[in-house]
Amino acid sequence: MNWQHHAEALAHAVAHRSSRWHPLIAETPRHLFIPRWWERDGDAYTLRAPRNDDEWLPAAYADKSLVTRVGPLHADHAEADDRPRGRPTSSATLPSLVVSMHRHAYLDPAGTLLYIGTGSGYGTALAARYLAHPKQVTSLDVDPYLVEAARDRLGGIGLHPRVETVDAAGPLPVEPGSVDRIVSMVSVRTIPPSWLDALCHGGRLVTTLAGTSLLVTAEKDTDGGATGRVQWDRAGFMAVRQSEDYPPGLDALLAAAAHQDGEDVTTGPFPVVDVEQAWDLDSMLGVTAPGIVHRYDEDGDERTAIMVHADGSWARATAIGNDRPTVHQSGPRRLWDVLDEVRTYWLTHGELPVRGARVFIGPDGRTILARGKWHAELI
């Protein structure tokens, strides 16, 4: 098996040859951490269980994320005819993003790292090789199987970091003030106080904010809180979870919103937009009006965007091409109006303030973003 050739090609693709990460990527067998995975197939997922190296290695060493678990079903435990539906609950993150998160942490080879979201174990492997000794890495995941599999696969390549099953939003299995760096491969809405407790003074954390593509770095202050900023980079991760699956989604409300008439029917001032593909717009909306779920469809020249929220609010905007849309809205809030307010701010000021904002985190995890005259507290 000539996996080294593929690993070297991946290293060239995601790290400069002078980078310390380049040889680590080239020497780490990513395929061993991803023996099987899921691929999207319409509204379900299809199992990929490679039968030979030609099917396995090109996928394992591509710079892309591979979904390893959908709902409660891990690919390792699936049958060939399984077609799970629902949200992915674990994946092997694309290597370039793994390296980017580590770079934002300013890892010190002599320091300690708390790695939240073990997943496949590949990111833990890279960190364990970057630091002076694997025991300087503590890797956590809420999923007992992921922890067991990652521990075995790490051991198989001679690495033995500490890998534990823990709900990372709660108490952590480390001494207070003992961690130099925290890298989270899951997103959180606010920073868990236990993370701040674990960090030493001046220690640095890197995470993403749930419901956005905002990547936050912050360093611990003497008062037990932390101060940092939203980086200009973009990143997205699955939200932290406390159980084997996420709570039920809003599929029924999305289906209803696709056809029924709204309490208010108006003509919108701006063209229909695919919010989830407009990352800054999506992030601003995710900060100021969290919890909105989006759906976007194109049928020929007709474009339709749907927004729903657990409070029962929904909106549907439909237009031909870039024409002004017909907007149906119902429920306690007018979601499309909220979106248009954000778009108006964008046109008025030339940009949205969330990217590049300062981040202020209290010892209790209370998190505030601020830039210029704008500020918002995360809830």
- What does the pLDDT read at residue 244? 75
Separation CA 87–CA 207 (nearest Å): 21
- What does the pLDDT read at residue 117? 96
- What does the pLDDT read at residue 125? 98
Longest dimension (CA), the chain: 63
pTM for the model stands at 0.94
Let me know how long the chain is. 379
- What does the pLDDT read at residue 107? 97
pLDDT in tens, 332-349: 999 999 999 999 999 999
Kindly tell me if the per-residue pLDDT of 249 is higher than 90.
no
Closest CA to 356 of 203, 217, 182: 217
Residue 194, helix vs strand vs coil: helix
Share of the chain above pLDDT 70, in %: 100
pLDDT in tens, 39-80: 999 989 999 999 999 999 999 999 999 999 999 999 999 999
- What does the pLDDT read at residue 334? 97
Average pLDDT, rounded, for the chain? 96
DSSP secondary structure of 256-287: HHTTSPPSEEEE-SS----GGGSHHHHHHHHH
Report the pLDDT averaged over residues 300-325: 97
The dihedral sign for the CA sequence 172, 175, 177, 181: negative
